[in-house]
Amino acid sequence: MATREEILERLKKVMDPELGQSIVDLGMVKQVELDGQLAKVRIDVTIEACPLKDQIRREVTEAVTSVDASLKVQLTMGAMTAAELDMLKRRLGEQRSAAIGSGQPASSGTEGKITGDAGGINRLKKKVPHVIAVGSGKGGVGKSSVTAQLACALVREGHPTGILDADITGPSIARIFGATDRPLVKEDEKDVMIPVSTQAGVNVLSMNLLLSDEKSPVIWRGPLINGAIRQLYANAAWEGCEFLLIDMPPGTSDATLTIYQSLPLDGVVIVTTPQSLVGMIVAKSIKMAQSLRIKVLGLVENLAYVQVPERKDPYYVFGPLKGQAAADDFKVPYWGALAMDPAVAEACDKGQIHTVDNPQFREFAKQLVAAVSKVAVKV
């Protein structure tokens, strides 16, 4: 009959993928109890949103059953308290602590996977024909809903498409598509996640799909956020998509810089609204992309007007449209203006964005396909 001591000995061989040390030595094993043929095990990983939690779960289960194949495993996964994590970081030192939450294996020589530091600027290997960022420079302009509708339109036009939700601290793509399943891991490659399929035919990966509670905040500093972005791209099976859209975080700071410098982008689509304040901030976003030699493929003016049934002409809530003038100033293509549509908001709230089929997005999809074709010819 298996003993608690035997199970602990096997668990010593399970390594934390990021830190390269035994989970027993790291203090992650909180409970090992035997109740007949039932082994009750509790493992507290470093952080709730640990991107390699599923790998640890699988290896712990394998370690326990290797003692006695007839054992049933009741495994509970939790997270260290702030005090425990702080103590661990003090013991590991600053350099090794930086790996926590990066999703980066402690050592890996596999091409295309993360092997450098999480915030590095080395360009990752291209995994799909076209990688397109969708950014805004400012939150609240409907960037995620534009990303989602553009992805749906690309699929309708016959282009397999995925979305990487790179807004780590404010992810919304999973909710918009009604995705709730945790990403699976490839059997032959333990650290490669499989993007979650949706009713829209769009495969998605979002930080919310890695949390046990989607309302849990991701309170991370820059290096961890940068590492998560890189892992959601490099350690995921995006192959098979023709287009991969990157739903960008707002702003022009560290996370945006990581995307522009690390991911093999073909270009960026910029989303704005007619407000002068937004226009000023979006101008910064366009200049940032151009300064880093990221081609601006199109400018979309979202939430531009309301079409009131009683009125023939649209009602421009934020004043006259400014998108065309901004596009002309920066010499970038202006794709057009989008109305405020309650149906879009309702579909996003219900996770049914696939039920919305705005003909404008079909045109946007065609313009995007044409734009990347021109980029490919120039390269």
Q: How confident is the model at residue 121 (pLDDT cuts 50, 70, 90)?
A: very low
Q: What's at 5, amino acid-wise?
A: E
265 and 344 fall within a common domain: yes
pLDDT, tens only, 64-78? 999 999 999 999 999
59 and 153 fall within a common domain: no
Cβ-count burial 135-151 (b if 16+ within 10 Å, e if not): bbbbeebbbbbbbbbbb
218 and 307 fall within a common domain: yes
Give how far the C-alpha of residue 303 lies from the chain's centroid of Cα atoms, to the nearest Å.
25
Q: What's at 122, amino acid-wise?
A: N
146 and 64 fall within a common domain: no
Q: Residue 288 in contact with residue 260, Cβ under 8 Å?
A: yes
73 and 149 fall within a common domain: no
Examine residue 105 and state whether it is found in any structural domain, yes or no. Answer: no
190 and 319 fall within a common domain: yes
Q: For helices 254-262 and 222-234, what crossing angle results, to 10°? A: 30
What confidence score (pLDDT) does residue 95 get?
62
pLDDT, tens only, 315-362? 888 888 888 988 898 899 999 999 999 999 999 999 999 999 999 999
Examine residue 216 and state whether it is found in any structural domain, yes or no. Answer: yes
Examine residue 116 and state whether it is found in any structural domain, yes or no. Answer: no
CATH at residue 171: 3.40.50.300
Give how far the C-alpha of residue 237 lies from the chain's centroid of Cα atoms, to the nearest Å.
13
Higher confidence at residue 216 or residue 261? 261
297 and 373 fall within a common domain: yes
CATH at residue 39: 3.30.300.130
What confidence score (pLDDT) does residue 166 get?
92
60 and 170 fall within a common domain: no
What confidence score (pLDDT) does residue 109 get?
40
77 and 167 fall within a common domain: no
149 pLDDT higher than 90: yes
In angstroms, rounded to a whole number, what is the distance separating the alpha carbons of residues 2 and 339? 66
pTM above 0.85, yes or no: no
Examine residue 47 and state whether it is found in any structural domain, yes or no. Answer: yes
pLDDT, tens only, 89-100? 877 776 667 777
Q: How many domains does the chain have?
A: 2
Domain end call among 20, 54, 81: 81
Give the burial class of 217: count Cβ atoms within 10 A of its Cβ; 0-12 exposed, 13-18 middle, 19 or more buried. Answer: exposed
242 pLDDT higher than 50: yes
177 and 29 fall within a common domain: no
Give the domain extent around 61. Answer: 4-81
Examine residue 217 and state whether it is found in any structural domain, yes or no. Answer: yes
Tokens of 161: 């498409």
Count of beta carbons in the 10 Å neighbourhood of residue 293: 8
Q: How confident is the model at residue 365 (pLDDT cuts 50, 70, 90)?
A: very high
- The torsion region of residue 62 among left (phi > 0), alpha (psi -120 to 50) and beta comes to alpha
149 and 223 fall within a common domain: yes
Examine residue 306 and state whether it is found in any structural domain, yes or no. Answer: yes
Examine residue 228 and state whether it is found in any structural domain, yes or no. Answer: yes
What confidence score (pLDDT) does residue 102 get?
63
Q: Which of 55, 62, 99 is nearest to 77 (CA)?
A: 55
For the four alpha carbons of 105, 198, 201 and 141, in that order, the dihedral sign comes to negative
Examine residue 163 and state whether it is found in any structural domain, yes or no. Answer: yes
Q: How confident is the model at residue 105 (pLDDT cuts 50, 70, 90)?
A: low
Domain end call among 14, 48, 81: 81
163 and 284 fall within a common domain: yes
